[in-house]
């Protein structure tokens, strides 16, 4: 269970890393502390449990049942080895035994238990102890406090340890009679365990990343171009962004749109009949509502439809304008679409923004700068310098 928890924590942690790369700022920020703490704590407990494996003592009922059934024997200590683990400053030791049961042949086994420093002489090699055999035919035994010098054991002899056969370790799945795990803990079941643990980790990571699947899809599509996110100025990426924004806003009417490589921002009315405008952003597949926008419109005539923006045509004009300005790269170039002033020759002082929609942008590479304007369908490119 602890190993499963470790892989779950690792999956959450890796899911958080992927979400941070493909999602908007702050994506799955909870996954880092949760995944890291879960993985570290479970790993420590796994290592501790490994060092304490086999330390669990059988219950008093198991020991008494074995004694009552005559499942007893005399054991000789062949070796006492400290494992390096201490509990309450007392060493955990492995005690190698040669066991001669009352019924059955002699065999070797190992018991792991806490041996208090004052009891170490009691378990020195060569000492004898009465043991309860916990299951018929199994090597598991429990050391008892019965008198090993009693007359019944007086004639008991032991062969050399090397002649008593190979060391038979106790049951890896727990004490005899206890519930066994669904998946075995032996070497034969190791591939199955690894597959289950890895699958659990992948599912945990997928659950963390799932809310940011749109950003993940954009990242996967952008990697062949050497980027970690889609260029939102590209037609396909911008169409996805505008569609997602319209779905969240509830309509496609806006007052302004600002488009950059990795961010689309719109100022959209709460309803098409409202002058109250909110700001919405799209980044890495996620739409964020940022509250009231600025400036607020004065008339409904400032609105226009997102479908008026022809992303492909505008991108071609961006490239053409960059060529005219002598700039080789569009890195950092963004553009804004909004309605212009409704000024005419007859009314040159009109400040109402109900004129045609225009797209404005600046080409700048640090050495030269040029401002341009174009219609949302890509027509009428002109310099505004």
Residues 6+ apart with CB under 8 A from 248: 280, 287, 289
Q: How far apart are CA 66 and CA 89, in angstroms?
A: 32
Q: How far apart are CA 161 and CA 68, in angstroms?
A: 28
pLDDT band at 24 (very low <50, low <70, confident <90, very high): confident
Average pLDDT over residues 56-72: 85
Q: Is the pLDDT of residue 186 over 60?
A: no
C-alpha dihedral over 79, 83, 84, 89, to 10 degrees?
-80
What's the pLDDT at 54?
60
Q: Is the pLDDT of residue 187 over 80?
A: no
Q: Is the pLDDT of residue 256 over 90?
A: yes
pTM greater than 0.75 (yes/no): no
Of residues 385 and 6, more confidence is placed in: 6
What's the pLDDT at 370?
92
Of residues 257 and 190, more confidence is placed in: 257
C-alpha dihedral over 143, 147, 153, 154, to 10 degrees?
140
Residues 6+ apart with CB under 8 A from 125: 77, 78, 79, 80
Q: What digits encode the pLDDT tens for the residues 80-105?
A: 999 888 888 888 899 999 999 998 89
What's the pLDDT at 174?
44
Average pLDDT over residues 240-267: 95
Q: How far apart are CA 72 and CA 134, in angstroms?
A: 9
Measured in degrees and rounded to the nearest 5, phi and psi for residue 337 equal -115, 130
């Amino acid at each position: 269970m602890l190993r499963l928890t470790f892989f779950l924590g690792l999956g959450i942690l890796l899911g958080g890393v992927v979400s941070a790369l493909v999602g908007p700022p702050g994506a799955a920020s909870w996954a880092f502390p949760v995944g890291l703490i879960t993985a570290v704590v479970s790993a420590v407990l796994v290592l501790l449990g490994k060092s304490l494996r086999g330390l669990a003592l059988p219950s008093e009922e198991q020991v008494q049942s074995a004694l009552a059934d005559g499942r007893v024997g005399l054991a000789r200590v062949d070796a006492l080895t400290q494992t390096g683990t201490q509990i309450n400053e007392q060493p955990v030791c492995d005690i190698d035994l040669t066991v001669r049961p009352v019924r059955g042949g002699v065999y070797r086994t190992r018991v792991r238990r806490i041996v208090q420093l004052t009891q170490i002489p009691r378990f020195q090699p060569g000492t004898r102890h009465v043991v309860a055999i916990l299951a018929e035919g199994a090597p598991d035994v429990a050391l008892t406090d019965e008198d090993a010098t009693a007359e019944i054991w007086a004639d008991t002899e032991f062969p050399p340890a090397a002649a008593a056969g190979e060391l038979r370790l106790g049951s890896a799945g727990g004490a005899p009679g206890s519930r066994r795990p669904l998946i075995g803990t032996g070497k034969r079941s190791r591939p199955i365990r690894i597959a289950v643990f890895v699958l659990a980790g992948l599912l945990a990571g997928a659950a963390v990343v799932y809310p940011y699947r749109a950003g993940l899809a954009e990242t996967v599509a952008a990697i062949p171009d050497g980027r970690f996110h889609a260029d939102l100025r590209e037609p396909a990426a911008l169409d996805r962004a505008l569609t997602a924004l319209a779905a969240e806003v509830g309509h496609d009417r806006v007052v302004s749109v600002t488009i950059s490589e990795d961010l689309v921002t719109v100022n959209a009315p709460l309803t098409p009949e409202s002058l109250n405008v909110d700001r919405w952003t799209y980044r890495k597949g996620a739409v964020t509502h940022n509250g009231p926008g600025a400036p607020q419109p004065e008339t409904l005539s400032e609105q226009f439809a997102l479908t008026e923006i022809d992303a492909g045509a505008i991108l071609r004009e961006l490239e053409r304008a960059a060529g005219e300005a002598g700039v080789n790269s569009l890195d950092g170039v963004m553009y804004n679409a909004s309605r212009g002033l409704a000024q005419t020759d007859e009314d040159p002082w009109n400040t109402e923004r109900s004129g045609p929609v225009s797209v404005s942008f600046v080409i700048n590479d640090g050495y030269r700068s040029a401002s341009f304007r174009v219609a949302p369908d890509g027509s009428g490119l002109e310099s505004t310098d």
